[in-house]
Amino acid sequence: MGEAGVRAQHQDQADTVGGEEQGMRTQVAIIGAGPAGMFLAHLLHQQGIAAVVIERRDRAYVEGRVRAGVLEQVTVDLMRKLGLADRLEREGLVHGGTNLSLDGALFRIDMAALTGGSTVTVYGQQEVMRDLFDAAETRDLSILWNVDDVQLHDLDGDRPSVSWTERGVARRLDCEIVVGCDGFHGVCRASIPADVLQTFERVYPFGWLGILADVPPVDHELIYANHANGFALASMRSPTRSRYYIQCALDDDVGAWSDDRFWDELCVRLGPTLGERVTRGASFEKTIAPLRSFVAEPMRWGRLFLAGDAAHIVPPTGAKGMNLAVSDVTMLGEALAEFFIERSAAGIDGYSARALARVWKAERFSWWFTSITHRFPDMDGFSRRLQMAELDYIRTSPTAQKTLAENYVGLPLEAA
């Protein structure tokens, strides 16, 4: 259903005075149509809870962003539960292991063996968003695209609302709950009073230069490489499409990285054996992303709830970003079902603490995994040898490998 359909669907909920639309009503207003917002919209739809997604861009923009590549079991399970996993089952690449490399010396972590069979699935965020949006159209989920100037109102009461403009026309949505799924640069986190909100942050002194190229991956699994020149990651999107990253300076200019320069540096960092196996080709996407660890607490204020990047950011090393958004909305979806169906506030009252318990464990793992695989500008000989000792410990200790494996595949939603 296109935008007109959405508008028509809400017309019957609109209050009109003198024919001028004054606003709409729903139960849950979701700000942002990224993974957090769209998974939540599908979860609420499955529970029969009315929701409207309000997105400032259009579908093509959101679906076109090249971001996450690895799904934890939590995410795969949710896609199956929501009936969104048909293409994932056909096209997703199930990985039972991952690989670390230190100056070219490769070793494998058998995650499935170390975790009783847990795996990860390689399936790009773009594909996840396509599945979410296609199903949203089929299921008549309400999404308002291209909105401007979103503002939240009366969050500390029991009748919050959201206002925005669409092609210059002022609009308003009355609701009972607002969920901020508007990412790190959104407006929802900033709606929590400064004397309530606490933030915690680490900004890393480097970025990731990533490319996409239609060439076969160098290996059938991922490779995280620690090299004296810096970090590199060999990933993929399919057996014919590779996703590679190399650590770069924060002020690096992507225009200064020709494909040849990128391939040469990647092959150095992967080491001579793997480097010789790399298939080169023209990149069709090349970007630099900064790395940060960030958490905002609490993830709830009054009738406003935060989920995903609106509340937390992890360096992509641990492949946790999108998966954390999914675990947030899985918990929040349960809490909102209790609130609207069982009329119990226990779930929403416990949401922030429950979500943060898993968020901080993912923050710790992502920070640790970044710290042992990247070259820090201020590293001295001592810290470099500590890194090498830690990697050698992981290489030789099944206990150390089990710790890495259980965090990489994703910890359970609840701490045991």
Site residues for ligand FAS per CB under 6 A? 31-37, 54-57, 62, 67-69, 125, 147, 150, 181-183, 186-187, 289, 308-310, 316, 319-322, 325
Least Å from the CB of residue 186 to ligand PHB: 22
In the list ligand FAS, ligand PHB, none, the entry touching 227 (Cβ below 5 to 8 angstroms by class) is none
Residue closer to ligand PHB (CB basis): 34 or 180 = 34
Of 142, 191, 235, 242, the residue at the interface with ligand PHB (CB under 6 A) is 235
Here's the x/- map for ligand PHB, 57-76, by CB under 6 A: it reads as ------------xx------
In the list ligand PHB, ligand FAS, none, the entry touching 125 (Cβ below 5 to 8 angstroms by class) is ligand FAS
Q: Of 224, 244, 245, 351, which is the active-site residue?
A: 224
* Alpha helix ranges (H) inside 82-231: 86-91, 111-114, 125-138
Please state, in angstroms and rounded to a whole number, the distance separating the CA atoms of residues 290 and 204: 8
Binding status of residue 246 toward ligand PHB by CB under 6 A? no
In the list ligand FAS, ligand PHB, none, the entry touching 98 (Cβ below 5 to 8 angstroms by class) is none
| Cβ within 8 Å of residue 76, ≥6 positions away | 85, 88, 92, 121
Q: Of 123, 320, 351, 374, which is the active-site residue?
A: 320
Least Å from the CB of residue 181 to ligand PHB: 21
Task: Mark whether 35 is an active-site residue.
Answer: no
Least Å from the CB of residue 111 to ligand PHB: 13
Residue closest to ligand PHB when measured from CB atoms: 69
Of 316, 333, 347, 410, the residue at the interface with ligand PHB (CB under 6 A) is 316
Task: Mark whether 224 is an active-site residue.
Answer: yes
Task: Mark whether 408 is an active-site residue.
Answer: yes
Residue closer to ligand PHB (CB basis): 70 or 192 = 70
In the list ligand FAS, ligand PHB, none, the entry touching 62 (Cβ below 5 to 8 angstroms by class) is ligand FAS
Residue closer to ligand PHB (CB basis): 164 or 208 = 208
CB 114 within 8 A of CB 398: yes
Task: Mark whether 220 is an active-site residue.
Answer: no
- Interacting span for ligand PHB (CB under 6 A) from 197-205, 259-267, 316-324, 371-379: 316-324
Of 319, 325, 336, 405, the residue at the interface with ligand PHB (CB under 6 A) is 319
Residue closer to ligand PHB (CB basis): 161 or 323 = 323
The crossing angle, in degrees rounded to 10, of helices 73-81 and 321-341 is: 40
Task: Mark whether 316 is an active-site residue.
Answer: yes
Residue closer to ligand PHB (CB basis): 171 or 243 = 243
Q: How many residues bind ligand PHB (CB under 6 A)?
A: 10
3-state DSSP of the chain = CCHHHHHHHHHCCCEEECCEEEEEECCEEEECCCHHHHHHHHHHHHCCCCEEEECCCCHHHHHHCCCCCEECHHHHHHHHHCCCCHHHHHHCEEECCEEEEECCEEEEECHHHHCCCCCEEECCHHHHHHHHHHHHHHCCCEEECCCEEEEEECCCCCCCEEEEEECCEEEEEECCEEEECCCCCCCCHHHCCCCCCEEEEEEEEEEEEEEEECCCCCCCCCEEEEECCEEEEEEEEECCEEEEEEEECCCCCHHHCCHHHHHHHHHHHHCHHHHHHCCCCCEEEEEEEEEEEEEEECCEECCEEECHHHCEECCHHHCCHHHHHHHHHHHHHHHHHHHHHCCCCHHHHHHHHHHHHHHHHHHHHHHHHHHHHCCCCCCCHHHHHHHHHHHHHHHHCHHHHHHHHHHHCCCCCCCC
Residue closer to ligand FAS (CB basis): 182 or 297 = 182
Residue closer to ligand FAS (CB basis): 134 or 342 = 134
* Alpha helix ranges (H) inside 232-380: 259-270, 272-277, 321-341, 346-373
Here's the x/- map for ligand PHB, 198-227, by CB under 6 A: it reads as ------------------------x-----
Task: Summarize as ranges the residues that interact with ligand PHB (CB under 6 A).
Answer: 69-70, 222, 233, 235, 243, 316-319
Which active-site residues does the annotation give? 95, 224, 316, 320, 408
